[in-house]
Amino acid sequence: MPSDAAALAAIDLSARSLRLPSVRSRAKALAGEAERDHATYLEFLANVLAAESDDREERRRQRRIAAAAFPRLKRLSDFDLAAATSVNAATIAMLESGGYLERGEPVVMLGDSGTGKSHLLIGLGVAACEQGHSVRYVTCAQLVNELAEAADERRLSKLVARYGRVDLLLLDELGYVALDARGAELLFQILTEREEKSSVATASNLPFSEWGKVISDARLVAAIIDRLTFNATIVETGSDSYRLRATKAKRAPKT
């Protein structure tokens, strides 16, 4: 019979060839656990394969989160719904379950600065990543600039198609920077590419009635609002700064 050292060397060689890094790194520890637990050969094999499968899924999850390009990680579970009284907890729970993604429905977050829109937007994106969906976060200004650059370099159609393929597009800060006619038209192309196929979640500090202040073309304002609100879930975060309340709560002396 081969020695344990020889067996581990053979496992290492085979695991490298088969690209099973968790089997290679955890075989000895799992064998020890199996011996202590008096596991059968089949139970040991099942545990080894489960470890590889779990670790592989974790690596995929990490890659999806990295590919989403979040500016920071925020989870819905970290959002203080008790402090954000304007936000309906049942609506957030419904969105977290991901059904809107399967239906390709949009989500719109509306509220003043500091009311938690970006936190909720990123939290939805992280939840979607953990459910196996591809996600991309971008601010409205970043997206329009990227599209304009692609148009100048004659690669716009490829970029629009790439944005059309992700399961969830997170479009933050719509309303902070004014869009000229060309920028609005480029944004509209992305929304049209995704219409009724894949979800767009948007955050804006302006009510719909004021979007004309940042999008000069009235025709495009109406068309963009139509694309972003058809069958949409609209979350109003209000005007009371969630960030300011959270900061004050942290600084308040404990009694």
- Minimum mean pLDDT range among 57-66, 195-204, 238-247: 238-247
**Residue 252: is its pLDDT beyond 70?**
no
pLDDT at 7: 80
| Window from 37-51, 92-106, 134-148, 152-166 with minimum mean pLDDT | 37-51
Average pLDDT over residues 113-134: 96
Contacts with 153 (C-beta within 8 Å, 6 or more apart), sequence order? none
All domains of the chain in start order, with CATH: 4-64 (no CATH), 76-250 (3.40.50.300)
Reported confidence tier of residue 245, pLDDT bands at 50, 70, 90: low
Mean pLDDT across the chain: 90
Please report which confidence band the pLDDT of residue 15 belongs to, taking 50, 70 and 90 as the band edges.
confident
Among residues 21, 26, 20, 19, the alpha carbon closest in space to that of 44 is found at 26
Q: Half-sphere exposure (CA, 13 Å, Cβ side) for 32?
A: 5
- Is the pLDDT at 244 greater than 90? The verdict is no
**pLDDT tens digit string along 177-198?**
999 999 999 999 999 999 989 9
Nearest of 107, 115, 112 to residue 171 by alpha carbon: 107
Is residue 27 over pLDDT 90?
A: no
Amino acid letter, 85? T
Predicted local confidence at residue 126, as pLDDT:
98
Does 217 have pLDDT greater than 90? no
Report the percentage of the chain scoring pLDDT > 90. 64
Given a cut of 80, is residue 201 above it in pLDDT?
A: yes
